[in-house]
Amino acid sequence: MKKLLKNAFAALLIILFLISCNNNPPLRNQAIVYATSGPDSGHLVIVGGNMKDTSIINRFISLAGGYDSPIVLIPTASGER
């Protein structure tokens, strides 16, 4: 599970980097057109500190649709490699 989450995180970072590289500013006097995609609603699980409670992980997996669903983990601060 840890390896799957690490691979998903690495893939997310690459995708975010590629998206950020495509933010060319519009030319003068041109309208900015924003395109959106993705679900209309969803779940966001934000956990801080040293998460040791497995109920949070179980609820996260349940919200994602189960153990076979694609999951993205974004660690923002950790001492673990």
Instruction: Give the span between the Cα atoms of 74 and 62, in whole angstroms.
Output: 18
Q: Is residue 33 part of a domain?
A: yes
Q: Is residue 71 part of a domain?
A: no
R_g of the chain, CA atoms, integer Å: 17
Q: Is residue 41 part of a domain?
A: yes
The secondary structure of 32-74, three-state, reads CCCCCCCCCCCCCCCCCCCCCCHHHHHHHHHHHCCCCCCCCCC
- What is the per-residue pLDDT across 40-55, written as a single tens digit (0 to 9) for each? 777 877 777 777 778 8
Q: Is residue 73 part of a domain?
A: no
Domain extent, residue 22, equals 2-64
Which pTM was predicted?
0.40
Q: Is the pLDDT of residue 71 over 80?
A: no
